[in-house]
Amino acid sequence: MSFDYLIALITIAWLIIGFVALKLPGHICCPIGLAITVVLAMFNWHMPAVSALTATLEGVAMAVWPIGIIVIAAIFVYNLSVKTGGMDTIKTTLTAISADRRIQVLIIAWGFGGFLEGASGFGTSVAIPAAILVGLGFDPIQSCIICLLSNVPVAELGAIGIPVITGASLTNLNATTVSGFAVLQLFVLIVVCPIFMVRLAGKLKGVWAITLVSGLAFAVPAYLIGAFVGPELSTLVGAIGSLVATFAMAKTVNKTTDKEYYMDGADAAREKMKQLSTADMVKAWSPFLLMFVSMLLTSKLFPAINAPLSAIKSAVPIYINAAGERTAMYTFSWINTPGVLIFLSGVIGGLIQGASISDMAGVLGASLKQMFKSIITIVSIIAIAKVMGYAGMVADIATGMVALTGSLYPLFAPIIGGIGTFITGSVTSSCTLFSALQAQTASALGLSQEWLVAANAAGATVGKVISPQSIAMAAAATGCVGSDGILIRKAIVYCAIFLAFLCVFSYAGVYWFGIS
């Protein structure tokens, strides 16, 4: 093991100390980590100052476009729906479907939570459903655990696929291949997570079928979209499939409700539903429907639209290597990028809902303010990844990992992703930090780079269930601030089980199933 391997780990060690021990916020911890990385790159790897600067600038460019624009646009759409009252209508329509608290877990926490994760991510998929469940009479601690579990198998393709898109971009891998592998690795967890969630709300007797269908109706379309279309719509389509299937069974097979699990909140929602017209419901869902349709039509499924829009781009040389050469080009796709499509969908949807231009401007300003610190964190993390990659730090870490683990490395790939999310609280940040490491380690071992990058993403999403940031957000939304320790103790059991499964599956994929 080389001394450079240990020096390259200093940045990772700082992030662990900063986030976990010192409890620094991301917008402070990560810029310090970037400064440390640049100093290490320049003095130990002899990276010229201009190379360190341009590598950082390339990271900033990627963080702003396309990642930052997706984050801002997604939160803008959600906040605008809250402003116009559309989100209240959506909550009412979902709550009125069934009076059975177990089925409401499938609808609110699983289906709707997955929809929010696919559309916006960044905590909305845990906080909002958990708050709704508490409003319906669920225990706050129970609501937090249920919603944390709902996020476990779907966050790797949340926020229009940002984690996988980022990981694939940093490693120059095919994002569709990576997303297909990621959903495949998580397929079993997507099916069984609803079972764990419903079991927390009561017995499975009488709801076995609807619970199983709810999971399968999510997993199957999520895999098909992720593997054959791309990461952008995988979670969103899976959530819609689950909501439709769960609704259909709730209205046919599970029409009656066991008195033990009857939920009074459903009656109030049904009364509100009587005052809503079809037009009201269409208006409420319009931004999300437009988002879905626009991204579907501009995907590879429709090459006549995809090709000309994808051609509207600019390739810009940013990074300058040690020889003073601009060897890498960074491409800005100006129209056919999720952030632009989401923002346009939000504006058109807002107009349909009756929002004025000034209303939308105010919501956009508030969204920018709300996400400003998160953007600083994302910019810093991606800049760290770029500097480490160009300097050769990632290659040295990969060499060290191969020396330590050898052919057993695929067993540890998901754990590395999980640690990344536990440290940073973000699946995207974990994919940013470790995707290049996974790819280079896979290359050194002669294994599939896409498979191990996907394993990193799968492990990262499981890590969210015990991430202090995720738990704090869930606790704040349900009014049980201060119960973080209780939540971690309850959640860590699920995290351990899920990670163990992923580790075995990651190893099996390359050595038993022969994925290459």
pLDDT digits (tens, 9 = 90+) for 47-59: 999 999 999 999 8
pLDDT at 123: 63
- Cα distances from 76 to residues 29, 122, 161, 468, in angstroms, run 26, 12, 17, 25
Give the whole-angstrom CA distance, residue 277 versus residue 279: 5
What is d(CA 429, CA 377) in angstroms, rounded to the nearest whole number?
9
Least confident of 87-96, 220-229, 235-244, 500-509: 87-96
So what's the pLDDT on residue 397?
Answer: 82
**This model's pTM is above 0.85:** no
- Alpha-carbon distance of 159 to 123, in angstroms, equals 10
- Which DSSP helix (H) or strand (E) runs through 221? helix 208-228
| Confidence check: pLDDT of 493 > 80 | yes
User: How many separate helices (H) and strands (E) can be counted in the chain?
Assistant: 25, 2
What residues contact residue 410 under an 8 Å CB cut-off, 6+ apart?
A: 447, 451, 452, 455, 506, 507, 509, 510, 511
Identify which has the larger pLDDT, 61 or 25.
61
Q: How far is Cα of residue 6 from the mean position of the Cα atoms in its chain?
A: 30
pLDDT at 347: 95
Q: Is the pLDDT of residue 247 over 80?
A: yes
Model confidence band, residue 31 (pLDDT cutoffs 50, 70, 90): very high
Percent of the chain at pLDDT above 70?
94
Percentages helix, strand, coil for the chain (3-state, rounded to 5) are: 80, 0, 20
pLDDT (average), residues 370-393: 84
Query: Cα separation of 419 and 90, whole Å?
Result: 35
b/e burial code for range 256-282 (CB count within 10 A of at least 16 → b): ebbeebebebbeebeebbeeeeeebbe
Q: What is the mean pLDDT of the chain?
A: 85
Tokens of 444: 């050194």
Q: How far is CA 274 from the centre of its chain?
A: 36
Percent of the chain surpassing pLDDT 90: 30
Q: Is the pLDDT of residue 223 over 90?
A: yes
Q: Which residue has the higher pLDDT, 469 or 368?
A: 368
Residues 6+ apart with CB under 8 A from 39: none
Asked if 502 and 185 count as a contact pair (C-beta separation under 8 A), the reply is: yes
Q: For residue 385, what pLDDT is reported?
A: 81
